[in-house]
Structure 1
Amino acid sequence: MTLLSLHRRTSTRPGTAPTPAPAPAPAPAPLNVLVLAVAGAVTVANIYFPQPLLAAVARGLAVSDRTAGLVATAAQLGYALGILLLVPLADTARLRRLTGVLLALTTAALLVAAAAPNVLTLLLATLALSTTTVLPQILTPVAAALAGPERRGRVVGVIGLGLTLGSTLSRTVSGAVSDAGGSWRAAYLVAAAATAALLWVLPRALPERLAAADRPRVPYGRMLAGLPRLLGAHRALRVSALRGACVFAAYSVFWAALVFHLAAPPLGYGPGASGLFGLLTVPAALASAYAGPLTDRLGAGPVGRWALGCVALGLAVAGLAPGSPVALVAGAGLVVLGTSSCQVANQSRVLGLGRAVAARVNTVFMLATFGGGALGSLTAAWLYGAYGWTAVVLAAAGFTVLGLPAGARRPRVA
């Protein structure tokens, strides 16, 4: 897609020759949404690909399942930390340089995780790599700002589809790589190679800056200090942040515990079969792309409520038939569809608050979302170990219900 350019008119005076119009400024490079979606998929996969490996990590490092589950929690906490400290920079920083630095740091941390001799090293490396792999939350506001209001939901939906496929298929790929390589460490090496490959592609697909060249730069400390004021100033941001936190907490509770449920009797599946569940939910992920145009047409509120209903239905299916692989696949698909659609609707709403603060409002929204995800992962590790699958499903349902009242009154900014 290309952006509209404005042209000045030629002015004339009686008896004088027309003044030549100035040469039009060169049009900006086309926004390559496909490249941004693929890059988002590869980088967001770094948060989720360890989940099918947790049982193997527990065996390989001789720790309990509950301790291994802290890897998923560290990934969510690190991602939230990176969103807070790094994503606001996109409003003023040189995007190409920022992108290259983050990709290099993430690659290095993945290599450390692959060689981790104990669980503490793995946890610290996971925290580091998830802090720097926040490019998806930089790419989304950049694309939304350049797309314009008429196509914002559609563009956010395409990139959101990339993120959904990345988070979903990463589980399948990591499980298969772990089985083929005979160790969970092989999955980390593959992730490092994929992340490093983006260094040659992604920076070239981005504009130099998101902000106008003549706009005064906001000091870093002032940007961070102003984040709570954004939350207080915009009800649309508050609604989206609360709903995003609740739905992602439910999502994380479900997926973080699913690998342990699949590995336990009577199912007894290994990492490869557990990762296959991600592949089987791809149709649901593809269907979630329609949430973007639907949000452009109907608004974020109706789409968000419909999405929460999908999550609730998926949890009911998975909870009522815990020993049925078919029911678990169907439930997982509905959870993926609902979570992804809700994310697109919420993010489209907050990114409509203005290009000047796009990265910062996205920071507040995603910080709340992944804070909820971290809480969900931690809840899952404890609940499953203490009370089993039914308690996990009930906790996820509780988080979903908490998100329902968030949009009861129509926000002023949709």
Structure 2
Amino acid sequence: MDPRPALVAAPRAAAAAPGRPVNVLLFAVAGAVTVANLYFPQPLLAAVARGLDTSERTAGAVASAAQVGYALGILLLVPLADTARLRRLTSVLLALTSVALLVAAAAPDVVTLALATLALSTTTVLPQILTPVAAVLAGPEHRGRVVSLVGLGLTLGSTLSRTVSGAITDAGGSWRAAYVVAALATAALLWVLPRRLPERLAESGDANERRSYARTLAGLPRLLAAHRALRVSALLGACVFAAFNVFWAVLAFHLASPALGYGPGVAGLFGVLSLPAALLSATAGPLADRFGPRAMNATGLAVAGLGLGVAASLPYSLVALVTGANLLLLGVSTSQVANQARIFAIGRDVAARVNTVFMLSTFGGGAAGSLVGSWLYTAHGWSAALLLAGAFVAAAGLVVAVAARPAVPSCVPDATGEAGG
């Protein structure tokens, strides 16, 4: 069987979407457009502060609102993908996000803008719904490949959105223009995306729909207790993303230090300069399909550790810092793909919920890494911060080593009422 069509359309999944192939390109583009809503405002905060006559520190609340809203959306909305009608859920989320973006564009003050940002970031969780949908429809033979291609769209969307929003603001003369363009791009997906999705993700759709919303959320801890694969991936995701966020949280401070003396423009360029690693990360999926998640986790951790080592050994070389950033991004992306390939093998009926648990753990680790890394850099400098990042990578390596031991069968029932392992 020729695997090449999976790059555009993965095999058909009769139970979830009879006669419908997975349009990976559409999923990747939709993920890029929606995840961009979280990141495009970041370079606009100074313009927002001037336009709304407030301090830059106060305008920074907009960026914080985006992260809080996204975490809330992952917890409260993503699990619905296992039980709801996907086309309806997707249409509602896209419509609400588009409206919230327009409200943000017309915001008369920073409070309104922050509240609109909180709302739009809560409903723009479509990337975390599309990823498990694509993985389920692709089937086990192409799961890693499809997850990595959709993930590539998310990486490009989050990276390039900052550059695009800055260019739109310069061309339009106002930060509001970027919000209007984002609203139009998000609304355009309403005409294309829902009709290309299956009606339901789970095979037992009618039974799942009768499950109460409260019961769906209450079942999340049981999933973690029932499935060793989910516990392993959640721990790895937290450790790896903590290391990643330590590096990026302190990079701008390090570049601005007297020894380097670079401004925020150079720090912003690191996102674009990391594109080679983002593009190369698409190879992680096919390799995970071939060699398995464990091998790719080990590879990703080795690459991430190498990147931190390069950045730590030559702290005042821009070439070394860019090289380290690329290696770290490649390693983290490889590990992320491997972890998601592992959890999506648990079962299609719980695909969205296991992704919820995984992403909450990952973001929790990232938040801890940012907080502790920033404090450590302030107190002890660049080397100490990167040593902390290296410790997180080492902890992830320990998890991989322990997980290599044979699993003890679990008798804890999962959210579907069956024992997991």
Establish whether TM, by shorter chain, passes 0.5.
yes
The counterpart of 1:201, out of the listed 182, 192, 206, is 192
Alignment deviations for residues 261-293 of structure 1 (CA, whole Å, 9 cap, x no partner): 55666443354x544322221111111111111
Taking the aligned partners of 2:205 and 2:78, their CA distance within structure 1 comes to 21
Inter-partner Cα distance in structure 1 for 2:304 and 2:352: 28
Residue correspondence of structure 1 range 374-393 to structure 2 within 5 A: 374-379=367-372, 389-390=382-383, 392-393=385-386
Number of equivalent positions:
393
| Cα distance in 2 between the residues matched to 1:250 and 1:317 | 14
TM-score, structure 1 normalization: 0.83
Distance 1:209 1:303 in 2: 31
SS of residue in 2 equivalent to 1:216: helix
Give the aligned partner of residue 39 of structure 2.
48
Distance in 2, matches of 1:361 and 1:5, equals: 22
For residues 188 and 309 of structure 1, do their structure 2 counterparts lie closer, same or farther at Cα, with a shift above 3 Å needed?
farther
Which structure has the bigger radius of gyration?
A: 1
Cα offset, 1:396, TM superposition: 3.2
Q: Which amino acid aligns with 1:172?
A: T
Cα distance in 2, alignment partners of residues 368 and 69 from structure 1: 25
Residue 90 of structure 2 corresponds to which residue in structure 1? 99
Unaligned 5+ runs, structure 1: 7-25
Counterpart pick for 2:73 among 78, 82, 97: 82
Deviation at 1:84, TM superposition (A): 1.0
Distance in structure 1 (CA, Å) of the matches to 2:37 and 2:312:
28
- Tell me the C-alpha RMSD between the 2 structures: 3.1
2 CA distance for matches of 1:247 and 1:398? 10
1:249 to 235, 238, 242: 242
- Match of residue 132, structure 1, among 116, 123, 138: 123
Q: 1:3 aligns with which of 12, 21, 38?
A: 12
Say if 1:37 and 1:158, in contact at 8 Å, map to a contact too: yes
Indicate the residue corresponding to 1:19 in structure 2.
none
Task: Give the 3-state SS of the residue equivalent to 2:22 in structure 1.
Answer: coil
The alpha-carbon deviation at position 85 of structure 1 amounts to 0.7
Confirm whether residue 269 of structure 1 aligns to residue 263 of structure 2.
Answer: yes
Change (3 A) 1:224 1:144: same
Q: Which has the higher contact order (CA 8 A, sep 6+)?
A: 1
Q: CA deviation at 1:367?
A: 1.3
1-structure distance, mates of 2:363, 2:185: 23
1:295 is matched with: 288
Letter in 1 for 2:263: Y
**Distance in 1 (alpha carbons) for counterparts of 2:373 and 2:102:** 27
What amino acid is the match of 1:255?
W
Q: Which moved more, 1:361-370 or 1:68-77?
A: 68-77
| Contiguous gaps of at least 5 residues in structure 2 | 1-9, 408-419
Residues 363-400 of structure 1, C-alpha deviation per residue, up to 9 Å, x if partnerless? 11111112223334445665666766555434433433
Partner of residue 136 from structure 2, selected from 140, 145, 158: 145
Residue 83 of structure 2 contacts residue 205 of structure 2 at CA under 8 Å; is this kept in 1?
A: no
Whichever residue aligns with residue 139 of structure 1, its letter is: L
Partner AA of 2:227 in structure 1: H
1:289 counterpart letter in structure 2: A
Q: Deviations over 1:186-244 (max 9, x none)?
A: 44333333222212221122111112366412221111111100000111100101111
Residue identity over aligned pairs, in percent, reads: 68
Q: How is 1:348-367 mapped onto 2 (pairs within 5 angstroms)? A: 348-367=341-360
What is the TM-score of this pair, normalised by structure 2? Answer: 0.82
Q: Name the CA distance, whole Å, in 2 between partners of 1:57 and 1:263.
A: 23
8 A contact 1:317–1:328 mirrored in 2: yes
Residues 1:72 and 1:249: Cα distance change in structure 2 (over 3 Å): farther
